[in-house]
């Protein structure tokens, strides 16, 4: 990425005119596309636009330093967005969170340190993931009340547990943060499935095998949904025909579940 730096006066500097100082505003541009790194209010970070404005502006802060201190190669730094959030790396993706200044910087980020990250309630939408009562859920309904006499608009959230389908509701001021779970979908090849015990064997992309999952109908909590029954039947039917079956495994908050049959390749 191409780095551009400007002082608080708003004037761009040349690369050799002055060193990068803690507290300076910086802009990042992707060399391949020419587009700038942008942080949205929701915490989403991307490089979709060419524009250089407030959303593309980051404040670089040297770890354990005061504004004005020079930054040199090897220093740990934090990048603060226009919302006051800080950029964080989690499971190979970058987002903005309300991390405190003394929390992990880019040099020492632990990608497995947390299952969730905070996001302002106002940035959530229908289809967003959110943690309610400790459960990773997908929002299916969301409405916002008008600002009351105490100055806080509130969001009424209706969401479904992404693993069990159980319905949860929550009420949260739109200015407050809620926990959002990190989620991951992995495609694996089916090695075998037992219709009686529910045990499933999978082949990972790395070549390793995985044997700690069951058919979706063999849920550890709650009753299987209609979708669980459909996916389980598709797996068993494909296996019965001798097809190469590929499934999608959803992971979040330390839980995993087979949620779909990605594709079935019929053998000749």
**Looking at residue 220, which CATH number applies to its domain?**
2.40.50.140
Q: Are residues 80 and 163 in the same domain?
A: no
Q: Are 73 and 37 in contact (CB under 8 A)?
A: no
Report the Cα 208 to chain-centroid distance in Å: 25
In the listed set 181, 209, 225, which residue is the last one of a domain according to the structure? 181
Q: Are residues 82 and 15 in the same domain?
A: yes
Q: What confidence tens digit (pLDDT) does each residue in 187-200 have? A: 999 999 999 999 99
Q: Which two tokens stand for residue 51?
A: 């524009």
Q: Are residues 261 and 190 in the same domain?
A: yes
In the listed set 131, 164, 181, which residue is the last one of a domain according to the structure? 181
Q: Are residues 168 and 219 in the same domain?
A: no
Q: What confidence tens digit (pLDDT) does each residue in 36-79 have? A: 888 877 677 888 777 778 788 888 887 665 556 777 777 778 88
User: How far is the CA of 6 from the CAs of 86, 201, 231, in angstroms?
Assistant: 19, 55, 54
pLDDT at 101 over 80: no
User: How far is the CA of 37 from the CAs of 12, 15, 23, 26, 236, in angstroms?
Assistant: 17, 19, 18, 10, 45
In the listed set 85, 108, 131, which residue is the last one of a domain according to the structure? 108
Check which CATH number belongs to the domain holding 104 and give it: 2.80.10.50
Provide the domain count of the chain: 3
Alpha-carbon radius of gyration of the chain = 23
Across 223-236, average pLDDT: 92
Higher pLDDT: 220 or 183? It is 183
State the pTM of this model: 0.56
Q: Are residues 76 and 37 in the same domain?
A: yes
Q: Show the beta-strand stretches assigned E in the chain.
A: 2-6, 25-29, 36-39, 45-49, 58-62, 77-80, 86-90, 93-97, 116-120, 129-132, 135-144, 154-161, 167-173, 177-181, 183-193, 199-203, 209-214, 244-252, 255-265
Higher pLDDT: 115 or 86? It is 115
Domain of residue 52 covers: 2-108
The closest alpha carbon to 60, from 35, 32, 86, belongs to 86
Check which CATH number belongs to the domain holding 121 and give it: 2.30.30.30
The closest alpha carbon to 177, from 105, 112, 117, 113, belongs to 117
Q: Are residues 131 and 64 in the same domain?
A: no
Q: Are residues 50 and 91 in the same domain?
A: yes
Instruction: Return d(Cα 13, Cα 31) in angstroms, integer.
Output: 19
Q: Are 257 and 227 in contact (CB under 8 A)?
A: no
Helix (H/G/I), strand (E/B), else coil: 147: coil
């Amino acid at each position: 990425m191409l780095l551009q730096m400007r002082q608080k006066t708003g004037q761009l500097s040349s690369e050799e005119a002055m060193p990068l100082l803690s507290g300076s505003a910086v802009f990042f541009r992707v060399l391949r596309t020419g587009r700038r790194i942008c942080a949205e209010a929701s915490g989403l970070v991307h490089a979709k636009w060419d524009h250089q404005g407030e959303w593309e502006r980051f404040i670089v802060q040297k770890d354990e330093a005061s504004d004005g201190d020079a930054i040199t190669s090897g220093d740990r730094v934090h990048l603060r967005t226009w919302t006051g959030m800080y950029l964080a790396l989690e499971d190979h993706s970058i987002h903005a969170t309300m991390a405190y200044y003394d929390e992990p910087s880019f040099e020492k980020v632990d990608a497995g340190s947390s299952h969730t990250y905070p996001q302002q309630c106002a940035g959530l939408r229908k289809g967003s993931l959110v943690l309610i009562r400790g459960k990773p859920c997908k929002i299916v309904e969301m409405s916002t009340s008008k600002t009351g006499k105490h100055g806080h608009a509130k969001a009424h959230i209706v969401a479904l547990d992404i693993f069990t389908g159980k319905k949860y509701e929550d009420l949260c001021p739109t200015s407050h943060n809620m926990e959002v779970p990190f989620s991951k979908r992995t495609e694996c090849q089916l090695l075998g499935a037992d219709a009686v015990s529910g045990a499933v064997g999978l082949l990972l992309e790395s070549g390793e095998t995985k044997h700690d999952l069951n058919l979706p109908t063999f849920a550890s909590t709650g009753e299987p949904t209609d979708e669980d029954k459909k996916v389980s039947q598709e797996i068993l039917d494909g296996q019965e025909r001798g097809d190469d079956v590929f499934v999608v495994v959803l992971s979040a908050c330390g839980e995993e579940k087979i949620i779909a049959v990605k594709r079935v390749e019929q053998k000749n």
